C-alpha cells in the first residue's frame, strides 16, 4: 500500500473508532425522531412507475437495523433502461449499524468500477451538494451510479465527512440517524457518462425534494 493510501486508511480507521467511542459515551437517551416509513415513498415519480424489489435475509443481516427501500422505476412505454433506486435509513448508528459505502458492495456483486469522480447536484429550492458518480461494468453491460449520504437536509459524498457529521449531530442534537441514497441507471451502448447523467437528472430532481419526508431534518 502506498504511503498516501496507508495514511488515508489509518485516518479512516481512527475516525470510525472515534465515532464509535463518542457515540457509545453519550449518556442521554438518544432521540429517535418520528418519520414516514420508506414503504410509502411514491411509486410514481414523474413519468416513471416503480416496482419494489425485496431484499433477502442475508442482505438484511449485513445492512443491520434500519428501514430499506429497493425499487426499480420504468418509463411508461418500457423502452428506456430502468432506474434502480435504493434508500437506506438508519434511525440510530450508536450500536454499530452504520451506513455501508456502495463502493465496497458493488465489486462484491461482480461489477467492476470503470470510472469514479465527484459531481455537484444543483436543484431548485435546495443548496448544491456533492455526490459520488461511478460507472461500473459487467459482461459488457454498463451502469451509472450516483450516491450520497443524507442526514438532516444535508447531502455529502465523502464517507469520512458523513462520520464527522454523525459525531457532530450526536453531540449537538442527540441523534445519530442518517441515510444513504443510491440511484443506478442502465447505460446505452457507447453512451457517454455526461449523457447518462443528463438522462438521470429529471429523476434525481424528483427524488431529492422528497427525502426530508422520510429522512427527518
Count up the domains in the chain and report the number.
1
**What value does the mean pLDDT take over residues 3-16?**
54
Q: How many other C-beta atoms lie within 10 A of the C-beta of residue 187? A: 21
Residue 25, pLDDT > 50, answer no
For residue 108, the enclosing domain spans 3-214
Backbone angles phi, psi at 54, to 5 degrees: -70, 145
Q: What is the largest CA-CA distance in the chain?
A: 55
| Tens-place pLDDT, residues 62-94 | 887 899 999 999 987 777 778 999 999 999 887
The H or E element that residue 200 is part of is helix 193-207
| Tens-place pLDDT, residues 114-138 | 999 999 999 988 999 999 999 999 9
Amino acid at each position: 500500500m502506498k504511503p498516501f493510501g496507508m495514511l488515508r486508511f489509518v485516518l479512516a480507521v481512527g475516525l470510525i473508532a472515534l465515532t464509535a467511542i463518542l457515540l457509545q459515551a453519550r449518556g442521554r437517551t438518544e432521540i429517535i425522531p418520528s418519520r414516514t416509513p420508506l414503504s410509502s415513498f411514491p411509486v410514481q415519480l414523474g413519468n416513471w412507475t416503480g416496482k419494489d424489489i425485496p431484499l433477502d435475509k442475508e442482505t438484511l443481516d449485513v445492512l443491520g437495523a434500519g428501514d430499506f427501500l429497493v425499487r426499480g422505476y420504468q418509463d411508461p412505454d418500457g423502452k428506456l433502461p430502468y432506474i434502480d433506486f435504493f434508500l437506506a435509513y438508519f434511525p440510530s448508528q450508536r450500536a454499530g449499524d452504520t451506513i455501508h459505502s456502495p463502493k465496497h458492495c458493488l465489486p462484491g456483486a461482480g461489477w467492476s468500477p470503470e470510472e469514479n469522480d465527484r459531481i455537484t447536484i444543483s436543484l431548485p429550492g435546495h443548496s448544491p451538494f456533492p455526490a459520488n458518480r461511478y460507472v461500473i461494468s459487467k459482461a459488457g453491460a454498463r451502469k451509472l451510479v450516483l450516491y450520497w449520504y443524507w442526514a438532516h437536509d444535508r447531502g455529502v459524498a465523502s464517507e469520512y465527512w458523513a462520520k464527522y457529521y454523525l459525531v457532530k449531530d450526536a453531540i449537538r442534537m442527540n441523534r445519530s440517524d442518517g441515510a444513504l441514497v443510491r440511484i443506478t441507471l442502465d447505460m446505452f451502448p457507447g453512451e457517454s457518462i455526461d449523457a447518462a447523467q443528463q438522462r438521470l437528472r429529471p429523476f434525481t430532481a424528483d427524488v431529492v425534494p422528497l427525502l426530508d419526508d422520510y429522512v427527518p431534518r
